[in-house]
Amino acid sequence: AVPRVFAFRDARWAPDPVLEPSAAVRTPQPVPLVIDNGSFQTRAGWACPDPAVPAEPLLRFRSLAARSRGARGGAGAETQVGNDLGSPEPLRWLLRSPFDRNVPVQLELQELLLDHVFQRLGVASQGCVDHPIVLTEAVCNPLYSRQMMSELLFECYQVPKVSYGVDSLYSFYHNRRQNWPCSGLVISSGYQCTHILPVLEGRLDAKNCKRINLGGCQAAVYLQRLLQLKYPGHFAAITLSRMEEILHEHSYIAEDYIEELQKWRSPEYYENNVHKMQLPFSNKLLGSTLTSEEKQERRQQQLRRLQELNARRREEKLQLDQERLDRLLYIQELLEDGQMDQFHKALVELNMDSAEELQSYINKLSLSVEQTKQKILQAEVNIEVDVVDSKPETPDLDTLGSEQSLEDVESINEFEPLFAEEQPEVEKPVAAVQPVFNVAEYHQLFLGTERIRAPEIVFQPSLIGEDQAGIAETMQYVLERYPKEQQAILVQNVFLTGGNTMYPGLKARVQKELLEMRPFRSSFQVHLASSPVLDAWYGARDWAVEYMTRDEGWITRKDYEEKGGEYLKEHCASNVYVPIRLPKQAPRTAEALAPSRALASSTGNPCEQA
């Protein structure tokens, strides 16, 4: 079999350009702006029926922000968002996300993401965003999160109206066909969570929704842990970005996990199905193919670098010592001119006790300045002379004998092992010193059972120690909460959506699980979204175009001011609005107030009572 070797793409993110919006998004009235606010990726675009405006998301970027700490030179902190980061790995420990699981909780980071969206889409209105906003939110989104998001949109951006909907329900309605029923069981698996959502008669049954706290993020971390334990020598090269690439392009869901593991035990099956991921490496080994002339040239270059570095240090030391010496000489002139008050004040600032101590410091600094000047002159002479011997002479120590010279020799000696030369008589031909192992193969990651182990966690969370039920058990639990007639209706349209459902074999696995849990000879159908990642945005756009001129589903600024930020107008793809019910306080009647007044009069001022 031909070995399957794949190179990591390590693709860098291209910064998003600032787009010029078409005139159709402003006239005759501002069209809605659709934002799929996902925990993995943010997608934004216009909901405009005009064919001149693309019916697809114009912006797609990771929902991440990084704030640098600022340079030492005084430059302020710089904040980068999404694709402007270039690559997440160098900034991995600075990355911040506004999401906790799939719920936005860090609203200052959410504001950075929205600023990025409005700026890059070319929203030109001054001081506000005068486009209606269609925004996705989590299933059964906490009221506090919606309240903070509404406050951000209405107070900060002054939007005219906003509509909230569930991303997986938007995807469900976008994929509706003529013969599809309005009821179904939606399985949505994303970056942080997996949801089982029953839809009855076109509306979400929120009381029976279930969530599994596992998604693509946990699968990537699990795969990284597996490969780092398997290849400890490549620990740093096994990054999360590369693990996500493996999950997206090389992983699959086993229809029968135990049976698939038995197949991988066969050496022949392993050889035919293993994927070898090539890590970047250098084919040039130190000292293996260098001739004596190349070694000599490299050594000379290193010595020149050391000489330039030491010369720079001497000049800096000379400048500092000269400034200190000038200061001390100025103080000595004060003594000679008879200005005793200023002289004693200067001595106190220098933490000195007498003029003799000052003179001693002046003598030491003068000697140090002269020695540094001689060193600089000597170094300039040495640089002009080409090094001929393989081991050049070290700088003269006995002339000055200072600590700086000893440091120069030590820094040169540190590089002796790097350029240790072999004797010409024992030098071997290049072919003889080639390594006995394949360097490229040493830098390869062999993906065997790891291809199925990482995605399997959504069906078996116990693989990573999570005490949760998998998709199959949760699906069966949700179905059993309904009568058999409604169960039969739900399983006729089991719909898979979300970025974590794009593994090959997932649809067949769900069909197998349903076959095991459903009654004998009962029917069911499983459908996969046409585009599991983008269908949520497409569905939100379809809804916005259809309901653009209606009041249904839109929260206006008047609604926000009257009913609070947590208020939600329901529509076909929204959550169910559950208002906050505060217990009403009993009215304080006259009979209830009488005892308190009597108590207040009895505990009045003693003088007044007397």
pLDDT band for position 346 (50/70/90)?
confident
In the DSSP assignment, the letter for residue 128 is S
**Per-residue tokens: 301:** 């270059």
Judged by phi (left if over 0) then psi (alpha if -120 to 50, else beta), residue 202 lies in left
- pLDDT over threshold 60, residue 590: no
Q: Which of 23-37, 208-222, 381-395, 432-446 has the lowest mean pLDDT?
A: 381-395
pLDDT (tens digit, 9 = 90+) per residue, 307-345?
A: 888 888 888 888 888 888 888 888 888 888 888 888 888
Question: What's residue 136's pLDDT?
Answer: 96
Backbone dihedral angles phi then psi of residue 189, each to the nearest 5 degrees:
-125, 120
Which residues lie below 8 Å from residue 74, measured CB to CB, with a gap of 6+? none
* Helix 355-384 with 403-414: angle, nearest 10 deg: 40
Instruction: Determine the Cα–Cα distance for residues 308 and 342; give it in Å rounded to an integer.
Output: 42
pLDDT (tens digit, 9 = 90+) per residue, 436-481?
A: 668 888 899 999 999 999 999 999 999 999 999 999 999 999 999 9
Backbone dihedral angles phi then psi of residue 194, each to the nearest 5 degrees:
-125, 130
- pLDDT over threshold 60, residue 105: yes
* Helix 484-491 with 471-479: angle, nearest 10 deg: 140
Task: Report the DSSP beta bridge partners of residue 33.
Answer: 46, 133
Residue whose pair of structure tokens reads 């906790």 in the numeric block: 100
The domains of the chain are located at 296-380
Instruction: Determine the Cα–Cα distance for residues 208 and 172; give it in Å rounded to an integer.
Output: 18
Question: What's residue 285's pLDDT?
Answer: 53
**Contact yes or no for 251/244 (Cβ under 8 A):** no
Question: What's residue 76's pLDDT?
Answer: 61
Tell which wins on pLDDT, 333 or 422.
Answer: 333
pLDDT (tens digit, 9 = 90+) per residue, 193-240?
A: 999 999 999 899 999 999 999 999 999 999 999 999 999 999 999 999
Alpha helices in 433-526 (DSSP H): 439-442, 450-453, 471-479, 484-491, 506-517
**Contact yes or no for 198/206 (Cβ under 8 A):** no
Q: How many residues does the chain have?
A: 610
Cα–chain center distance at 343: 60
Mean pLDDT of the chain: 84
pLDDT band for position 72 (50/70/90)?
low
pLDDT band for position 396 (50/70/90)?
very low
Mean pLDDT of 404-428: 44
Q: Considering the entire predicted model, what is its pTM?
A: 0.72
Question: What's residue 332's pLDDT?
Answer: 84
**Contact yes or no for 17/287 (Cβ under 8 A):** no
**Contact yes or no for 164/572 (Cβ under 8 A):** no
Backbone dihedral angles phi then psi of residue 99, each to the nearest 5 degrees:
-100, 140
